[in-house]
Structure 1
Amino acid sequence: YRSITGDVPAEYYEVEIGKAANVRPGQDVSIITYGMGVIWATEYADAHPEISIDILDLRTLLPLDYKSIRASLNNTGKVLVLHEDTLTGGIGGEVAAWIAQNCFEFLDAPVMRCGSLDTPIPFNTGLEKNFLAKSRLHEMIQKLINY
């Protein structure tokens, strides 16, 4: 699970608090995510070049970058909130609620959420893969695209 590696600058750098990063521009659907969700979304987008996916990495969860969330949604009209946490009680519900309340007029489909199962995290590797949101990502994106 925590097997992702990447380059880290040798020099001093900062991640601006409250400022999201647009990882990949797109026009068909927005994926708003953070943490491992960014990796999952990028892998999915790379494997499905026929879908133009806008990926927004929130980077910080409080404060949220509402301006970037709105900008991503304005580009696509369809949004999937992807997060590692369980579907119930996670930050994804808060992001989805904010979008529904503040960006309703820009939506071409309901706000969709993709999170982990509402169960304890299993220790078995196979069960853990099914528990995580990544195992349902394709299904949720297809549902959103076909809406």
Structure 2
Amino acid sequence: MKQFEIVTEPIQTEQHRDFTLNPHQGAVVVFTGHVREWTKGIRTEHLEYEAYIPMAEKKLAQIGDEINEQWPGTIVSIVHRIGPLKISDIAVLIAVSSPHRKDAYAANEYAIDRIKEVVPIWKKEIWEDGAEWIGHQRGYHDDAVERGQN
């Protein structure tokens, strides 16, 4: 296990949470992002993620550095899974510990927002009626946009 990593196997939640444990930390916040079945009224069958792994892991570590600058004393672990994922599989896990809960929550939310902004990860959403690649995890199914559900 690395502190910041891209994996192809199911994410081991406990390993990443345990990495952030420290006697000086009073809070650990673990966020897991799962594959959901419905997005903007469209049924998802499954997702496929791809990443430029060396750069993605570098960017995850950069996010960890940014968090440590904004919330000193935090310990961060971030892992994102690539490859095919079924409904309810964990796609991303962010574990943040800090002396106090407020910083752990804020840092965790910051991390997921930054992942979507800067990490070179792409997902392919596979629906009943087609599929679409979405760069940096942003984009919409054409039918949903046409129906005004964006």
Assess same fold via TM > 0.5: no
* More contact order relative to length (CA 8 Å, sep ≥ 6): 2
Higher helix share: 1
More strand by share: 2
